[in-house]
Amino acid sequence: MRIVVHGQQAFGKAVLEALLKRGDNVVAVYVAPEKPGQKADPLKEAALAAGLPVHQPDSYKKPEVWEQFRALKPDLQVMAFVTLFVPEEFLNIPTHGSIQYHPSLLPAYRGASAINWPIIKGEKETGLSIFWPDNGLDTGDVLIQKKTPISNTDTLGTVYFDRLFPLGVEAMLESVDLVKAGKAPRIKQDESKATYEGRCGPDNAHIDWGKPWEQIDRLIRGCNPAPGAWATLNGAKVKIFDATPLPAKDPKGIAGKTGEIAAVDADSITVVCADGRFKVTRVQADGPKVGAGEWAAATKIEKGARFS
């Protein structure tokens, strides 16, 4: 079966290398075009190293792009982390169509930040879907799904890199095998259960220390490592990556105002919230990520300073 891999970054590279390692017939690779001055995409580098032709159209709506794809005589397009819109005219060119990875249990959490939001909203479980894309946003029929729990200490990074990334590569291989065998299902998504969340960006990541500790904790973990939950101190934006919640036994008896730094230690700072405190251990201001205690010492932050 003639396979075209379409994607970018580390996940796209991992899928390509896994297919090649087991002897699948990959005939070409499609990669998002680099911006001026940007390094070559890891998937592109892996494809060139393997001697594969690489195509980087800036749009998939052009008939000449469709004809180029059709000339490859593809049987299946494997889409691993694709961000440009790809219309059905292109998706349907391969003999068996196209399959795509999405890091949520569709139809829940459609959209670009499908890993952040389940953590932020307090879900106990998430997963991934391999589906048959169409012209909608993550609306196509589902081929297979894999589930994984979300613990009280999980971050975006641990959920993705430790589980959804490797599980996704395995699921892609499993899906290709099902297509080869003519046994790949097409399960309609239940639109009554569909949810969509917009991109989780800096506006969503602003910490309100007046909120309950559980909400703040989920926000910090769901934005670690990107986009990074943040608060402002003395007019400067400070991203907070690692913080341990310290719930109060009696919220009414908390000393200090919300957002106030109640303690500065060698390895941490302690910040007051509505119903407890947070021991913050890793932050980022103007430079690289550093220990919170180190940052406080360097910027002369003292007990009593307050995040606005």
Residues 203-257: tens digit of each pLDDT: 999 999 999 999 999 999 999 999 999 999 999 999 999 999 999 987 776 778 9
d(CA 306, CA 228): 19
- In SS3 terms, 204-238 reads as CCECCCCCCHHHHHHHHHHCCCCCCEEEEECCEEE
Strand pairing report for 2-7 and 25-31:
parallel
Which domains occur in the chain, in start order? 2-193 (3.40.50.170), 213-299 (3.10.25.10)
The pairing of beta strand 2-7 with beta strand 76-80: parallel
Which of 208, 255, 216, 232 lies closest to 306 in space, CA to CA?
Answer: 232
What average pLDDT does the segment 268-273 reach? 97
Nearest CA to 157 out of 241, 282, 80 is that of 241
Write the pLDDT tens digit of every residue in 89-146. 999 999 999 999 999 999 999 999 999 999 999 999 999 999 999 999 999 999 999 9
